[in-house]
Every structure is written in structure tokens, then in C-alpha cells.
Amino acid sequence: MDSVIPNGSKQVIDGEERVFYDGYWIKAYRPPADTLMAKKKLIEALTRRLFNHVEHGINMPGYRLAEVRHAYETEADPDRRRVKGAMLAGALFNRATDIFTKLVELQSLGVEIEPDSGLMHECGQCLQEALMLGRLVLHRSGEEGIDELWGEPFRAFSIPVEAFYESRYIKISQTMRDIDIIGDEIARTLGTLPLFAGLADPAVKFVNAAKRKCETLRTDPDIVEVWTSFVVAGEHLSAYTPRLPALPPEALSRAATDGLELLRQGRDLVGYITRARVTMPKSTQEFVRRVNEYHEQVSGYYATSQAA
């Protein structure tokens, strides 16, 4: 049925307006008016969100841009150059935010700001360069970068606010898809092993809470209940105890320990994706690979022990 529903379709479901994208009905929000003030607030929020999810130490103030650029351009060591490039990306983002803030202040004083003014152009250039350097920046987990977070402020600067909100729904549907992929691997792969019997129920509850959190803005009055449900569902999933016999063989005990570590990794990955509201395809694919290898190994153990 989903295949015949056009993307962008809207419908009130259980008293909430929702919009359909790629198989998911996502909670819809009314975008603010398309003004410089609205874009300023949006870019500030997106910049805070970006620095909250990327590696530490790159949130360099805009006034240090020239200093950081020199450090990056004169660095020869590849590993050190990557880190300095990440710091340069941070400084560029903050410079863009500084410019936009001052432009909005001038506009509030009655100064007309033309879209093609020199400062507007510099702001766009800073965001565009930061987007290119953003490929050097890792998520706080250290596993991969999140390119989408670097592109969002530039997109918010470049397109109407309403169009930006529409693009947000597309990203959320993609994020929900990855959350479902990880949840399915936990429930249908780990959960089908006798060692992890009963795991599917807390896994499904955690995934549903994660998707609800993913679609809910922090300014939404529902966020208190939504965040609480997400945290508690994660705690319940983490509290799962493998089904071991009273005197388990050493191999089965090791399998239980390894399986719990996989479960923790899956929970953390869903948490990273949910809070950032963007996909982490490399980490997701790697997690799926590890879970399937583990399932094959433990299934082999059960087959061997039953044959014996």
C-alpha cells in the first residue's frame, strides 16, 4: 500500500498531522516564515547540533579562522592535517554564523540586506568550504563522518525555509529505515538464537521509541515523554540477560559475552543515529556484518552440540 502513496502526502493520524516519505508517516511541523531571522535561528540550531555530534576539539571560534587555516595549510603530516582540517571546518562554520548574526542585527535596525551583498556571499562561501572539509571530521564514536550534518547549514542558507523543512522529512525517513535495519538484525538475528530468546520484544520497543524520538523536535511539548520513553527502552534493552544453563560450557559463556557486546554496540549505534537524525551507512553495514557472522558462529555451536 505504501508504494501507491506519493511522497509529501499529509494526513492526520491519531490527532497528529503527519507527512509521508519513503514508507514512513513522519510527524509534521509548520515551518517559520522565510526571513533572515528565521534562517539565523535555524543555522544556529543546526550548528549547535553539528558540534554536539562530531569529535571533540573542532569547535573553533570564527575569529581564529586565519590562524587555523594557516596551521592546516602548513601541516605536512597526514593524520595531523586531518585534525587541523576538521578544526578549520569548525572555524568556518562559526565565522558564517557570526556573519549571519550581525546581518540580522543590522536588518533589525532597518538596514536593507541584499541577497547578493558581499557579506552574504562570504557567509555562503564559508559554509560551502566547511562542507568540503567536513569529510575530514569523524562522529564522536570515531567510526565514520556524518556528511549530512555538514551540509544542512549550507542548505538552510541556500534554500527557502519551507524547502529545508521538506528535505528534513526525507532525511528522517532514511534515518528511520536504518534504525529499522539495526533493530531487525537484533530481533531477527540475535533474537532467534536460544541464547537470546525473548530479546525481540525489548528490541522492538527500543526501535519504536527511537523512531518516535527521531521525528520529534526538541521544542515540541511531547519531547519530555518521548525522550523518557527512548532512554528507558534503551535501559531495558541493555538489561537483557542471556539464557544460559546453570553450568554453561565455556564456549557458550564466551558467546553470551560477545553477544551482549554486539547488543550494546547496536543500542549505541541506534542512539547515535537517532540523536543526529541522519544515517550512518558505514557503521550500519558493519554492524549488520558482525551480527550475521556472530549468528553463524553460534548457530554452528548449537548444531555441533546437538549432534553430539
Between 41-55, 166-180, 224-238, the lowest mean confidence (pLDDT) is in 41-55
Mean pLDDT on 36-49: 83
- pLDDT for 308: 47
State the Cα–Cα distance between residues 82 and 85, nearest whole angstrom.
5
Mean pLDDT on 19-31: 94
Is the pLDDT at 37 greater than 60? The verdict is yes
Is the pLDDT at 1 greater than 60? The verdict is no
State the Cα–Cα distance between residues 264 and 271, nearest whole angstrom.
11
Backbone angles phi, psi at 219, to 5 degrees: -85, -5
Q: Under 8 Å CB-to-CB from 163, ≥6 apart: which residues?
A: none
- pLDDT for 54: 85
Taking Cα atoms as reference points, which of 238, 239, 175, 237 lies closest to residue 206?
A: 237
Residues 92-122 pLDDT 10s: 989 988 888 888 788 778 887 777 788 888 8
Highest mean pLDDT among 32-41, 118-127, 191-200, 219-228: 219-228
Measured from the Cβ of residue 269, the count of other Cβ atoms closer than 10 Å reads 20
Cα three-residue angle 169-175-176, rounded to 5 degrees: 90
- pLDDT for 3: 57
Is the pLDDT at 155 greater than 80? The verdict is no
Confidence of residue 142 (pLDDT cuts 50, 70, 90): low
* Cβ atoms of 176 and 24 closer than 8 Å: yes
Confidence of residue 185 (pLDDT cuts 50, 70, 90): very high
Is the pLDDT at 160 greater than 50? The verdict is yes
Confidence of residue 303 (pLDDT cuts 50, 70, 90): low
- pLDDT for 144: 62
The one-letter amino acid code at 46 reads L
Is the pLDDT at 134 greater than 90? The verdict is no
Q: pLDDT averaged over the chain?
A: 88
- pLDDT for 177: 96
- pLDDT for 246: 83
Cα distances (Å, whole numbers) of residue 254 to 179, 185, 199, 246: 27, 20, 18, 15
How many Cα atoms are found within 13 Å in the side-chain-facing hemisphere of 167? 15
Mean pLDDT on 236-246: 91
Mean pLDDT on 75-101: 92
Q: 3-state SS of the chain?
A: CHHHCCCCCEEEECCEEEEEECCEEEECCCCCCCCHHHHHHHHHHHHHHHHHHECCCCCCCHHHHHHHHHHHHCCCCHHHHHHHHHHHHHHHHHHHHHHHHHHHHHHHCCCCCCCCCHHHHHHHHHHHHHHHHHHHCCECCCCCCCHHHHHHHHHHHHCCHHHHHHHHHHHHHHHHHHHHHHHHHHHHHHHHCHHHCCCHHHHHHHHHHHHHHHHCCCCCCCHHHHHHHHHHHHHHHHCCCCCCCCCCCHHHHHHHHHHHHHHHHHHHHHHHHHHHCCCCHHHHHHHHHHHHHHHHHHHHHHHHHHHC
